[in-house]
């Protein structure tokens, strides 16, 4: 959904937000009120913070929880950042919301929570701003929240499809060895030059016993799947970026070339299609392409940097 909106809508929302920002400790005050309303409207969201669903959302245990306090402030700061980027920075905002959706998918946030969060936000603005929060301003806020949340949900659902398909693959017996072996055999068929990284001649048959029984081949093919599993399980972007950077530097030392990654991507998609024939389709393929591009681009950057 487009993040471009009428100027009257943007000015109305930003002006009312500036009024909220003038409240002392606005991020803590508004964040606490916001999540109190959210927990009351949708008790299932308490579980994301480690609270039982039947716990009183306004009890001291909830309010004093460091995890709760941190996230409550974070939500307001994130909203503040998003509002500052509406308009001229809409494209960059779209990328940030996409990354946020991916993170929410890994945290177990469900699509059905977003309408409740929208209602909680309106209740919070009413409570903090009082009569200043007019019906027209409320209407503008609903429009903005719908645009922001739609972008997050779209990215979240895309990431969830990838994670769900990976979870299905992991249900396969010996999935690491089976999928890893298939992946590298497909890679070798598509790009014979990559065989030399394992000490194999270019003309070695990808189905030969020499290859399939090679300890180095079996260990590395399994390692690749373990590495991908670890990357898919990471929530924090900075943690993922650092791990992929280190992995890229390691691959540079082994002689891996940036141009190999495109072929590896095709080999990965072919492997997933073979392992998940009932789930694989054009949409899932595109979603995996997005994830792989995100992961591989960071490794490629590290390899290029290491070769300077």
pLDDT of residue 84: 86
Delimiting residues of CATH 1.10.490.10 domain(s) in the chain: 7-157, 172-306
The arithmetic mean of pLDDT across residues 150-163, rounded, is 92
pLDDT of residue 4: 67
The arithmetic mean of pLDDT across residues 136-143, rounded, is 95
* CA distances (Å), origin 50, targets 44, 45, 46, 66, 235: 11, 9, 7, 12, 17
Q: Are 126 and 133 in contact (CB under 8 A)?
A: yes
Q: What is the pLDDT of residues 118-131, one digit of tens each?
A: 999 999 999 999 99
Q: What is the pLDDT of residues 194-247, one digit of tens each?
A: 999 888 999 989 888 888 889 989 998 999 999 899 888 875 555 677 778 888
Tell me the average pLDDT of the chain: 90
Classify the C-alpha dihedral 280-286-288-292 as positive or negative: positive
C-alpha span between 282 and 285 (Å, rounded)? 5
CATH of region 172-306:
1.10.490.10
CB proximity list for 9: less than 8 A, separation 6 or greater: 140, 143, 144
* CA distances (Å), origin 121, targets 39, 77, 302: 12, 14, 41
Out of 95-104, 220-229, 245-254, pick the least confident.
Answer: 245-254
Under DSSP, is residue 183 helix (H, G, I), strand (E, B) or coil?
Answer: helix
User: Any idea which architecture 7-157 has in CATH?
Assistant: Orthogonal Bundle (1.10)
pLDDT of residue 45: 93
pLDDT band at 286 (very low <50, low <70, confident <90, very high): very high
pLDDT of residue 161: 94
Structure tokens belonging to residue 176: 């690491």
Query: Would you tell me the crossing angle of helices 113-129 and 26-41 to the nearest 10 degrees?
Result: 130
The arithmetic mean of pLDDT across residues 154-164, rounded, is 92
Q: Are 256 and 232 in contact (CB under 8 A)?
A: no
């Amino acid at each position: 959904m487009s993040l471009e909106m009428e100027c009257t809508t943007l000015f109305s929302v930003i002006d009312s937000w500036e009024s909220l920002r003038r409240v002392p400790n606005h991020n803590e005050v508004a964040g606490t009120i916001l999540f109190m309303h959210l927990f009351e409207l949708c008790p299932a969201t308490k579980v994301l913070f480690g609270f039982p669903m039947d716990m009183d959302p306004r009890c001291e245990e909830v309010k004093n929880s460091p995890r709760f306090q941190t996230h409550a402030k974070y939500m307001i700061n994130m909203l503040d950042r998003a509002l500052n980027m509406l308009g001229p920075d809409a494209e960059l905002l779209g990328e940030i919301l996409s990354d946020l959706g991916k993170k929410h998918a890994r945290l177990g946030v469900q699509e059905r929570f977003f309408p409740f969060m929208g209602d909680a936000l309106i209740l919070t603005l009413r409570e903090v701003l009082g009569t200043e929060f007019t019906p027209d301003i409320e209407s503008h806020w609903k429009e903005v929240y719908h645009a922001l949340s739609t972008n997050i949900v779209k990215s979240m659902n895309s990431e969830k499809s990838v994670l769900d398909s990976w979870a299905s693959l992991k249900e396969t017996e010996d999935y690491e060895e089976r999928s890893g072996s298939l992946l590298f055999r497909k890679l070798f068929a598509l790009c014979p030059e990559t065989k030399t990284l394992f000490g194999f001649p270019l003309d070695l048959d990808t189905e030969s016993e020499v290859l399939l029984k090679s300890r180095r081949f079996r260990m590395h093919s399994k390692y690749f799947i373990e590495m991908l599993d670890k990357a898919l399980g990471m929530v924090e972007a900075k943690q993922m970026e650092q791990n992929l950077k280190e992995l890229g530097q390691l691959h540079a030392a082994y002689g891996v070339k940036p141009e190999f990654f495109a072929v590896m991507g095709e080999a990965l998609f072919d492997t997933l299609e073979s392992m998940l024939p009932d789930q694989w389709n054009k949409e899932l393929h595109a979603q995996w392409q997005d994830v792989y591009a995100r992961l591989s681009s960071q490794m490629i950057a590290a390899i290029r940097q290491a070769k300077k």
